[in-house]
Structure 1
Amino acid sequence: MRLHVDQRHERVLALVREHGSLRVAELAAELGVSAVTLRRDVEALAGQGRVRRLHGSVVWAGEAVVEVPAPRDPSEGVVIGMIVPTTASIFADIVRGAREAVRAHGGRLVLGVSGYVDTEDAVQAGHLVAGGAVGLLVAPSWSGGVPVGGQEQWLLDRDVPTVLVERAAPPGNPAAALDRVRTDRAHGAAVAVGHFAALGHRRVTAVVQEGPHAAQIIAGYESAVRSLGLDGARGAPSVREHGDYESSVDYLVDAVRERDVTAALVHSDEDAIVLVPRLQARGIRVPDDLALIAYDDEVAPLADVPLTAVAPPKRSVGESAAKLLLQRLAERASGQPPAPRQHVELLPELRIRSSCGGKTLTR
């Protein structure tokens, strides 16, 4: 329920009286209004002598004020550009997390979308910087998740702080020196395999779609299979490569019937939802004959058989990347030496539902 202006003024007064002083951005967030609206409220109250406005903060008029306040936060009011390949799938929540973090600092996030077209990344970056963006959050359209053939060069040519989001450059590549924040997808795959093992599954497999995250997921899956001493069936086709899913269905049916596979990790949960009824039509029941864990947890709970899923910390990735970029902008504005560059990996979690069953297997 939105407050009337008079109610809002009273709330501002109460908060400032309680704390002595507060930043404009903090007050706006507390009241759920824009920074512009809050500044108008503060100007009105300051005109009445009830509060004082001082360097981006609001001070209670009854307090003695020493005119040596902390300097203005250089990140306040900045424009941050963000480039993503799509606003669907995981990136919807990543963008939301980044937007909320930037807005909490009084800044504005402006979005560019590349549509997974490699050459469009640089075009979008140029447009955003020309429009006033002083820093960039970028998830480049690198099909394998890492740059090849000089795909990173446009990033290095930009004279603005840049943080990679859900992407990484390998050691030795110039872009490896950039800050980055991403999900540790290998860890997520390993957690899924560990859950299968805890339920008693000894023969497992994975069906992974082609794309920027495939290498990490496969690496985590294979490492966990080796570490836990499981039998990891090989040869699963990519569902994206074949499109009609029939090759993946054929593979899984054969794996269950001929090789005694009892569990499968499927990336993504949309693909898992497509595969389940096709498997059931071929006589393979989920989870009775084949336990499934999906990867991404976008729509996994909505499946006919609700899917256990690996859930990347999507909003936290966006929030952490934005905060890291704001830190770099503050360092640049103050002239202080920058802190060491950061490669941040956030761990996903496993959300347990029906698709794995609950019984420990013995075979």
Structure 2
Amino acid sequence: MRLHVDQRHERVLELVRARGSLRVAELAAELGVSAVTLRRDVEALAAQGKVQRMHGAVVWPGGDAADAPAAAPAADGVVIGMIVPTTKTIFADIVRGAREAVEAQGGRLVLGMSGYVDSEDPAQARHLLAGGAEGLLVAPSWFGGVPTGGQEKWLLDCEVPTVLVERSAPAGNPAAALDRVRTDRAHGAALAVSHLASLGHRSIAAVLQDGPHAAGISAGYRASVESLGLETVPGSPAIGISGQFDEPLEYLVEAIARHGVTAALVHSDEDAIVLVPRLQARGISVPGDLALIAYDDEVAALADVPLTAIAPPKRSVGELAAKLLLQRLAERRTGRVPAPRQHLELLPELRVRASCGGDRTDPSS
């Protein structure tokens, strides 16, 4: 039978008094509660001066802190839960960056996967928190990259420090008050357009995937075309998650023939790699007839014609998100006044390869 909070506090005091000191993980297991619940109990009792909280352990007041059981570097250190839709594409490096940052501080990163299923996000969070996660790094399965229809509610109910990763919430949405770290994808798209314009291209198309990053890339593309005074190209059909390429292919062929398009931004580089041979089969060479810049730089360099690409700072996103969450946990543990919430946007970089070709400016002009 589950103990009431007051009964649980009494039991914690009995066990710590009898043994002098206990590891938090051992105490949680003995009481049959999650490590998160037990840590809250210990924090409440420590605030009343009834126990002493050490790193990963609880000590009876007046006992020798040196006798407290040593916390193992990872298992008994801070546990961070991370929920991502996949470990493919950009998230492989994001997870790697977060893991390295957490382990560098003696903690442990535990991964949950949603598979882009919206209802799986809260289920994974419950599982991670029940297993002892003290905070969450989350890239929710929000199709447009922002919450709609109350999708953020479960995040606000978690009651642990949470940092959004490669996601955001619009002003006025409660999730906008959460810390977040993401790539400035609009800046990356603008970099691509500016580079193509510098090579003399005046009519530049964009072929983008449906999904969380489309809005940012599209906004940067449109803003850059407008600010540089380039030709406006009719919008393209999106590449679906299932990878339907017939419509984007026909769009590019027609854009070249009817609108004088000589360059394109394609998200992602995997999609660009699929499109290049299809374009060549239609008599369109890359970069001779069409200069290409891909977005993501996962495998762009491995293409038959190595692709110029926009490279998000993936590992840095994971690293900074983890460090920000660890800061929030330290503030909570020590009772410090929390620093202001942060919205961090990291700038991607342009990596130039063969798919752009050379300067298209007419040398006689």
Report the TM-score, using the length of structure 1 for normalisation: 0.79
Residues 281 and 88 from structure 1, CA distance in 2 versus in 1: closer, same or farther, beyond 3 angstroms? same
Identity %: 73
203-212 or 249-258: bigger deviation: 249-258
Q: Provide the C-alpha distance between the structure 2 equivalents of 1:142 and 1:258, rounded to a whole number of angstroms.
A: 36
Q: Provide the C-alpha distance between the structure 2 equivalents of 1:282 and 1:314, rounded to a whole number of angstroms.
A: 35
Cα deviations across residues 93-123 of structure 1 (Å, max 9, x unaligned)? 0000000000000000000000000000000
Structure 1: segments with no counterpart, 5+ residues: 1-54, 57-66
The Cα shift of 1:242 comes to 7.8
Describe how 1:256-335 pairs up with structure 2 within 5 A. Answer: 256-335=256-335
Residues 241 and 158 from structure 1, CA distance in 2 versus in 1: closer, same or farther, beyond 3 angstroms? closer
Q: Provide the C-alpha distance between the structure 2 equivalents of 1:313 and 1:211, rounded to a whole number of angstroms.
A: 19
Q: What is the one-letter code of the residue matched to 2:90?
A: I
The Cα shift of 1:239 comes to 1.6
Q: What is the one-letter code of the residue matched to 1:146?
A: V
Q: Secondary structure at the match of 1:338?
A: coil
Q: What is the one-letter code of the residue matched to 1:255?
A: A
Q: Provide the C-alpha distance between the structure 2 equivalents of 1:359 and 1:350, rounded to a whole number of angstroms.
A: 17
Q: Provide the C-alpha distance between the structure 1 equivalents of 2:350 and 2:232, rounded to a whole number of angstroms.
A: 20
Q: What is the one-letter code of the residue matched to 1:193?
A: V
126-135 or 230-239: bigger deviation: 230-239
Q: Secondary structure at the match of 1:192?
A: helix
Structure 2: segments with no counterpart, 5+ residues: 1-53, 56-65
Q: What is the one-letter code of the residue matched to 2:120?
A: E
1:156 paired to 2:156: yes
Q: Contact 2:239–2:248 at 8 Å: present in 1 too? A: yes
Q: Provide the C-alpha distance between the structure 1 equivalents of 2:149 and 2:257, rounded to a whole number of angstroms.
A: 43
The Cα shift of 1:79 comes to 0.3
RMSD between superposed Cα atoms in Å: 1.9
Residues 361 and 239 from structure 1, CA distance in 2 versus in 1: closer, same or farther, beyond 3 angstroms? farther
Q: What is the one-letter code of the residue matched to 2:237?
A: P
The Cα shift of 1:234 comes to 1.8
Q: Contact 2:206–2:235 at 8 Å: present in 1 too? A: no
Cα deviations across residues 247-281 of structure 1 (Å, max 9, x unaligned)? 11111011111111000000000000000000000
Q: Provide the C-alpha distance between the structure 2 equivalents of 1:232 and 1:210, rounded to a whole number of angstroms.
A: 21
Q: Provide the C-alpha distance between the structure 1 equivalents of 2:338 and 2:259, rounded to a whole number of angstroms.
A: 55
Q: Secondary structure at the match of 2:175?
A: helix
Q: Secondary structure at the match of 1:118?
A: coil
Runs of 4+ with deviation above 4 angstroms: none
Q: Provide the C-alpha distance between the structure 2 equivalents of 1:284 and 1:93, rounded to a whole number of angstroms.
A: 34
1:199 paired to 2:199: yes
Q: Provide the C-alpha distance between the structure 2 equivalents of 1:352 and 1:358, rounded to a whole number of angstroms.
A: 11
Residues 115 and 242 from structure 1, CA distance in 2 versus in 1: closer, same or farther, beyond 3 angstroms? closer
Corresponding position of 2:16: none
Corresponding position of 2:115: 115
Residues 182 and 304 from structure 1, CA distance in 2 versus in 1: closer, same or farther, beyond 3 angstroms? same
The Cα shift of 1:246 comes to 1.1
The Cα shift of 1:360 comes to 2.8
